[in-house]
Amino acid sequence: MRLQQKIALVTGAARGIGEAIARLFAKEGAIVILTDINDDLGQSLASGIGDTCEYLHLDVSKPSQWQHIQEHVITKYGRLDILVNNAGITGFLETEGPHDPENLDFASWKKVNATNTDGVVLGCQCAIKMMKHAPAASIVNISSRSGIVGIPGAAAYAASKAAVRNHTKTVALYCAQQGYAIRCNSIHPGAILTPMWDAMLGKGEARKAAIAAVAADVPLGVMGSPEDVAFAALYLASDEANYVTGIELNIDGGILAGSAAVPSQKS
């Protein structure tokens, strides 16, 4: 029960990494507020988790909706202890594209950044206002390995996740400077098998082959699971990380260690 009676808000929580985080936080004793734009999935998940969980609709790119969330949380719970800014899109399914630097569609660029960048900025702003009088609080921003390295076919996604990486450090330093007991850290998943990959992996045998190809470029030899990221979020959200702020935690099977080579099997 590492999050006993803490009030936690998770964005983009209806599936994938957000769902895994919500489930784990509830298991560890938190009162969890799930948000998403997929209301059917979100409501179903909240009902399945039980009485310590509720679902609220939230388009993270809309300031007015964040204001509604803030008012609801303060009125019902009186405080917020944890925010996980998880909501994000690649743009491959949600926009027309293309997404490479030369030919990118500017409307698609803006939509990806509205969700991934603006959504995190608004979430952090809202959380600081709710957390600044708390004895201890934590913001966890879900970035990506794409926020550290370039992605030629996903310029908007890579740029937005790099913005999340840097804004996390800015928030961490600002809160420390103001004397707020708010920590802010980012997580950088890579090669995590979630629905976000569906557009790239295909179906059936093609999907199996695509997953095997991705895994072959991961030093640990497999794609990660949403639960791998959830446990990292649990650590950063918990009091165990009370001296940790402004860091970036890579959950990528070793990809960002500097080599995509599979470890030798020789003794």
Catalytic residues: 157
Distances (CA, A) of 109 to 118, 121, 136: 12, 17, 36
Rounded to the nearest 10 degrees, the angle between the axes of helix 39-49 and helix 16-27 is: 20
User: Which tokens in the block code for residue 23?
Assistant: 């489930």
Rounded Cα gap, residues 83 and 105, in angstroms: 32
Q: Give the number of other Cβ atoms within 10 Å of residue 18's Cβ.
A: 29
Q: What are phi and psi of 52, to 5 degrees?
A: -90, 15
